[in-house]
Amino acid sequence: MNSPSNQLFDSYFTAPAMRAVFCDRGRVQGMLDFEAALARAEANVGLVPRDAVASIVAACNAELYDYAALAQAITSAGNSAIPLVKALGKRVAAQSSEAERYVHLGATSQDAMDSGLVLQLRAAVELLERDLAALGQALAVQAERYADTPLAGRTWLQQATPVTLGMKLAGVLGAVTRHRQRLAELKPRLFCLQFGGASGSLAALGEQAWPVVEALAGELQLNLPDQPWHTQRDRLVEFASLLGLIAGSLGKLGRDLSLLMQTEAGEVFEPSAPGKGGSSTMPHKRNPVSAAVLIGAATRAPGLVSTMFAAMPQEHERSLGLWHAEWETLPELCCLVSGALQQALLVVPGLEVDAARMRENLDLTQGLVLAEAVSIALAQRIGRDAAHHLVEQCCRQAVKEGAHLRAVLGANLEVTAQLSAAELDRLLDPAHYLGQARRWVDRALAEHQQISR
């Protein structure tokens, strides 16, 4: 029997815990949590009889509702809160007709939907923080482990001067640390109550409006905004932008890993596992299946972020269509990023590194990638222009003859008059031309440790 939902790719692109936050039950429970908190808050200020609260709160359980019926009703109602509040009212009325009068008192459908969404986002952010912290720690361990392991730096996809694998991983670690900082900074702005009633003025609650607002924010443990934000969506768009940044950084990790796994490089690999990365027709293949998720998420995320930006200029006090465009977009972003984080957490701790192949690849150009080191050393003795011209001639000769640059330099009397054999050996050793690579690793580790305290 065919599944009514689209589940084939979900486990590949989405973390199950994040999908649970944004499944139908999660959406419905978020709105019902708002309705239960509203009843309690209004009872606290004397607007709702206390004996009415129990019936309302008891009915605010997502397991009690028919999602298929709600979905059908949404096609006519235009949003999910309208049919849910009706269903909630009927369920409350079955227990107490008196209590039913106080369901959703003074609120509008968008209050329930937006505040419910914020409650979902709070759960989502907890998952993101947990996974980013775990990924940062895994990157820190690997950056330290390979801090002095040379590999070819690559610019414009061509070999450049040497770097270290630790330095490359420290770059990703630095990005993860900054994303953790950004997430901590935006939480006070994101976790804000939405409660404005029909047009944002809460006129329906009269003089009791502000006490209810304060009590409701307390019940939900949400911050009080300067005013309702029905059509001021910057909080959500800021969060969407951060999700796009996280996806992009993970995509960078996936892109580099997939390139290092190429047959022609063969330097770093995803951890192997039975059945992982195989081909349907080529037994020898070892495909970067986790990197594919990282790159895929980074490719899809910008379009979703742009939808959130496009939905910002919403009309007057309540929007038509632009608000609707957010409903699936932001949850999908959360799910995409969660899936990418899960794949990164599978890969980074178990990276398989071939340091010997890295050294072999560094010698593919037969010393040419270290021509800069020789040129700089010579420049201190014969001047920059003369040194550059001399080393350039030696490089051309090495290419023409298919010889190693060390041999050509060692046979050149102008060079050997300035540099000894020991000096040439050192200059053409990648391990001695790593610059500040170790410092960059140490700095990234220090930043990680600081935010992890």
DSSP string of 12-77, one letter each residue: HHS-HHHHHHTSHHHHHHHHHHHHHHHHHHHHHTTSS-HHHHHHHHHH--GGGS-HHHHHHHHHHH
What are the tokens at 134? 């775990």
Measured distance CA(359)–CA(150) in Å, rounded = 7
∠ CA 134-257-150, rounded to 5°: 95
Whether residue 100 contacts residue 204, with contact meaning beta carbons closer than 8 Å, is answered with no
235 is catalytic: no
Please give the radius of gyration of the chain, using alpha carbons only, rounded to the nearest integer.
30
Reported in sequence order, the residue ranges of 186-271 that DSSP labels E, i.e. its strands, are: 268-269
Whether residue 35 contacts residue 56, with contact meaning beta carbons closer than 8 Å, is answered with yes
Selecting among 145, 318, 357, 426, the annotated active-site residue is 318
What are the tokens at 240? 């969407």
- Beta-strand relationship, 352-353 and 150-155: unpaired
| Eight-class DSSP state of 3 | -
Measured distance CA(296)–CA(247) in Å, rounded = 9
11 is catalytic: no
351 contact partners, CB below 8 Å, separation of at least 6: 142, 268, 269, 270, 271
Beta bridge partners of 151: 163
Q: Give the C-alpha distances (Å, rounded to integers) separating 152 from 108, 122, 168, 251.
A: 60, 42, 11, 21
Q: From its phi and psi, is residue 404 left (phi > 0), alpha (psi between -120 and 50) or beta?
A: beta
118 in helix, strand or coil?
helix
Selecting among 279, 306, 381, 396, the annotated active-site residue is 279
Reported in sequence order, the residue ranges of 238-337 that DSSP labels E, i.e. its strands, are: 268-269
Burial of 451 (0-12, 13-18, 19+ CB in 10 A): middle
Active site residues: 279, 318
